């Protein structure tokens, strides 16, 4: 036999899941960056830092209105979408 299958030689009772990897990342990176509330994982998702002790903040990608604009649909903060006629669509 020329090759050795390393998986046959080891007994794995349980394989790590992506969730396990994210939790391990949060523990390791969070310990080094205790001043950051949110950590961006390699799965392109945000996770709370378990070591963060500051005031709770907003999610980095959350959609939030300014306090003065909340519920005001006539605000200048809203952008009107232009109406496109069917003949203007190239496909």
Residue extents of the structural domains in the chain = 10-52
d(CA 69, CA 19): 37
State the Cα–Cα distance between residues 46 and 22, nearest whole angstrom. 9
pLDDT digits (tens, 9 = 90+) for 11-61: 667 788 999 999 999 999 999 999 999 999 988 899 999 999 999 999 998
Q: pTM, whole model, 2 decimals?
A: 0.55
């Amino acid at each position: 036999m020329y090759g050795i299958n390393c998986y046959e030689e080891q007994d794995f009772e349980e394989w790590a899941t992506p969730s396990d990897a994210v939790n391990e990342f949060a523990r390791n990176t969070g310990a080094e960056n205790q001043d950051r509330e949110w950590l961006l994982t390699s799965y392109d998702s945000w996770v709370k830092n378990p070591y963060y002790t500051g005031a709770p903040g907003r999610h980095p990608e959350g959609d939030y209105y300014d306090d003065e604009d909340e519920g005001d649909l006539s605000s200048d903060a809203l952008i009107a979408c232009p109406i496109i006629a069917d003949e203007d669509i190239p496909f």
